[in-house]
Amino acid sequence: MSVSAEQATKELRMASRMWFVAAAVAATAMTARAEPAPDECARRLALAKVWLEVKVAHPAVVRGQVHLDAAMPAVIAKVDAATTKEAYAAAIKELLAPLRDPVTFVEDAAGAPTPPRITAGWIEHPTPKIAVVTALALATEARGKRGELVAKLPAELEGAEVVVVDLRAPGMEGLVANLGYPLQAALPHADKGLIVREVVHHGYRTQDNVSSGGYGSGLFERAEAPPQGGGKARHVVFVADNHAAIPKLALMSCRTGSWRTSGWRR
């Protein structure tokens, strides 16, 4: 089959355009993968914050099982040399690797989910026996108004047998973490509390952990009794994601046997 010169020219132009588009897409992908790292001062400051937080708060370090200081010179050099976010993150991961802790990891803050558009109300009752609490619905309320609405939560949940609590509320973690106090009035008494772990500091921790001034840090554990509930709710569902604050009451609900079900949805 013969092809005219005009047809061949059209096909060549189309192929050229397709190659150009493919090349542009590939270049865009490479640019996205090679996103530049923050400036050197910002990188060093962030590294120092991570090092300090892990050194004084992570159980493995506080107990002396892991020593971060030995790895710091190599990590600092890699952080200084990093020109992309990937290289920068890899250096921080190297610092955290000895912890062998799956819940201590590097996460790109730019990848955090944007707050969803909420059309639900603060408290809704799809049926008389079901109550749905949406924390993010309070985002548009003034701080004083938020407190008033949260204080009315026990009365709003009275009579509900199923309570669904959506904890996903970016920027409102403090409010979400304290939701357990008003929620406990709607739930029956929990039969198991929590073991709360805290790091307590006296003064500033020294470099060599030797001091004559009474300074020191310690890891303490204390038992926190379950709340005295008196509500009728028997089914509780907490909806969370990787960024949600978790009230202590929600953690207790995972351990108690007095509530029929307690679940998580992510």
User: Are the beta carbons of 223 and 194 closer than 8 angstroms?
Assistant: yes
Write down which residue in 76, 111, 146 finishes a domain.
Answer: 111
Contacts of 61 (CB under 8 A, 6+ apart): 54, 55, 67, 68, 99
Residues 132, 257 share a domain: yes
Residue with tokens 């201590």: 104
**Domain containing residue 230: CATH number:** 3.40.50
Residues 260, 141 share a domain: yes
Region 170-199: mean pLDDT is 81
Contacts of 177 (CB under 8 A, 6+ apart): 245, 246, 247
In 3D space, the residue among 135, 238, 128, 127 whose CA is nearest the CA of residue 187 turns out to be: 238
Residue 240 confidence (pLDDT) above 50: yes
In a domain, residue 212? The reply is no
Residues 130, 104 share a domain: no
How many structural domains comprise the chain?
2
In a domain, residue 174? The reply is yes
pTM for the predicted model, two decimal places:
0.54
Residues 254, 148 share a domain: yes
What are 88-136's pLDDT values in tens digits? Answer: 999 999 999 988 887 788 877 666 555 556 678 899 999 989 999 999 8
Strand ranges inside 139-209, DSSP E = 162-166, 194-202
- β-bridge partners, 202: 216
pLDDT at 149: 92
User: Could you list the residue range(s) of the whole structural domain that residue 168 is in?
Assistant: 123-191+226-265
Residues 174, 47 share a domain: no
What are 49-89's pLDDT values in tens digits? Answer: 898 888 877 878 877 888 888 889 999 999 999 999 999 99
In a domain, residue 26? The reply is no
- β-bridge partners, 263: 237
Residues 254, 172 share a domain: yes
